[in-house]
Amino acid sequence: MGALNSLPDEPQYVGLAEKTGFSFEQIGILHKRFKQLSNNGETLRREDFNTIPDLLCNPIRSEIIEAFFDRRNFRQTDAVGTVHEIGFGEFLLVMSHFRPPSIRLDDEQKEVIRMEKLRFLFNMHDTDNDGTITLEEYRHVVEELLSRSGALGKETAKGIADAAMLEVASISMGHMEPDEFYEGITFEHFNKLLKEFEVESRMNIRFMNMDTTTLCK
Amino acid sequence: MVLIRGLSPQFLDHLLTGIEDICGHYGHHHWKDKLNRFNKKYIKKCLIAGERSREPQLIAFYHKMEMKQAIELVESGGGIKLPPVVPSTVSMQNIQPKKPPPPVERALPQIPKGREDEIRKILRGNLQKTRQRLRSYNRHTLVADPFEDGWSDLLLKKSKMIELEKKITEMNNYLTVPAAPPDSPTITRARLSSDPQAYQRKQLSDSVPTIQVDLASPQSPDSLSLLDELQRADQRRELRRRPPPDEEEGGGLMMRPPQARGGDQGEEGGPSAKEQRLQRCLSDPGPSAEDDEDEPFLS
């Protein structure tokens, strides 16, 4: 394949391959894409994502873009906060959350992968990084999800978010005094809620089928 | 669980489509999303004539709306068991951060008036009838649809309640009780008699002075059915709105706001006797039913 011959930064790729689990070939393809988006620059900024026309129609566009600049997704322990620009390494690290788990993994390793993917989803909701998805945060997501597509009004989406939150609170807290306050959905509870969701098999992109010829301009 | 689980696939779909777009990879999410958008934008408008091109959206909307209302109902203590949800004391109060709990009965935010409300009413009217008609062999009941199981009963009851409430307000204007305000003792007693189990009143002796009410026209079937409906509706309404039993047991006489109980002034003395009398009156429409009353209120 032509892509293999045009890999300029092979030593760097070794490190990235180890960190992310991507093959050299996949890394090469994604690097090409990175250069396209960054206009051959070394770093990507949020504005660069606006050059992708299809992304503009996406209701949760801003959450997705933010995920690329969220240090919690850079696989560095306890890193928090956001950055203004990212290099290829970070780009690849964020992408790696969508790699399908290898079939050869045992249950424990699969569980690790599942937690990583779930954590990524959680981070997308918990924007202020206080460890909980608050009502306000959840409302925001639901609003974007449901009312941006035009099907529902803002108030309705808000109502649905409230109802969902109420559901979660009822299930996790059972009984609450009128003056008690439910802080929000913790990661632990988020995990429990989505236990049967099979995130490890659903939250994947088939990078293997990627081909340089199909990359859109 | 239902709502979060319902929303998650949508969220994930958009997420994966977005990632594919970022990669520049035309994966199946990309195509699925593109096709859906194209379909929504052009095909539906061309192939489905007129207003109906907006319908599927509205049906999905209707379902989400009804789900939301069902949750509201559970939250407000509707007294209808919902299988997957454990009744709890958690309410909107517990999750709203700053605002004090809203004073209206429905704790969840109301949808603003306008098109959405209109649409909802129309949809409910039409779709509910369809549901009822097709209940016998609705395809949703053939293939076990967990989404609809248990919800459909809830929704029907809720819609019946709303319709009855509407009827009540309409009927209140047409009651033929002479010189009686909308919340006359007649109606009040009708409510009381309908709900013996909800009001755990002690049995008082008949010597306590009571005020009996002669129904204006107990014989006419119209008023009977009217009361019947009122009773049923109010029973449901009471179940929804009544305060916890502890409050009721306290000290005998209690003044209630007119909407909830009717303006009974000190008449709470012999409710059981009244109940009996009224019920007798309903079952036996003969005019002699009220002869043994001590103080006929209306003669």
Q: What is the pLDDT of residue B19?
A: 94
Asked if A155 and B112 come within 8 Å (Cβ–Cβ), the reply is yes
Alpha-carbon distance values, B129 to A163, B50, B123 (Å):
26, 23, 10
Residue whose entry in the numeric block shows the structure tokens 């309903």: B282
Chain B within 8 Å of A146 (Cβ-Cβ)? Answer: yes
Chain B within 8 Å of A98 (Cβ-Cβ)? Answer: yes
**Which of A16, A11, A13, A68 lies closest to A43 in space, CA to CA?**
A68
Q: Which region among A64-78, A117-131, B111-125 has the lowest average model confidence (pLDDT)? A: B111-125
Report the chain A residue with the minimal C-alpha distance to residue B57: A151
Chain A within 8 Å of B14 (Cβ-Cβ)? Answer: yes
Give the number of other CB atoms < 10 A from CB of residue B294. Answer: 12
Question: Which of A8-22, A118-132, B72-86, B121-135 is most confident?
Answer: A118-132
Share above pLDDT 90 across residues of chain A, in percent, rounded to a whole number: 54
Residue whose entry in the numeric block shows the structure tokens 């603003």: B112
Q: What is the pLDDT of residue B189?
A: 56
Q: How far apart are CA B22 and CA A67, in angstroms?
A: 12
Nearest CB partner across the interface for A206, out of B22, B27, B85 = B27
Higher-pLDDT residue of B163, B295: B163
Tens digit of pLDDT for each residue in A169-212?
888 887 888 888 888 999 998 998 888 888 888 999 887 555 54
Q: How confident is the model at residue B101 (pLDDT cuts 50, 70, 90)?
A: very low
Nearest CB partner across the interface for B109, out of A155, A171, A181 = A155
Q: How confident is the model at residue A152 (pLDDT cuts 50, 70, 90)?
A: confident
Question: Which of A37-51, A183-197, B221-235, B265-279 is most confident?
Answer: A37-51
Alpha carbon B297 to chain centroid distance?
34
Share above pLDDT 70 across residues of chain A, in percent, rounded to a whole number: 90
Q: What is the pLDDT of residue B34?
A: 83
Specify the length of chain A in residues: 217
Q: How far apart are CA A6 and CA A28, in angstroms?
A: 8
Specify the length of chain B in residues: 299
Q: Which region among A3-17, A54-68, A69-83 has the lowest average model confidence (pLDDT)? A: A3-17
Nearest CB partner across the interface for B64, out of A152, A194, A197 = A152
Asked if B165 contacts B233 with a C-beta cutoff of 8 angstroms, the reply is yes
Q: How far apart are CA A89 and CA A64, in angstroms?
A: 17
Judged by DSSP in three states, B208 sits in: coil
Chain B within 8 Å of A45 (Cβ-Cβ)? Answer: no
Joined together, the tokens standing for residue A121 give 């989803």
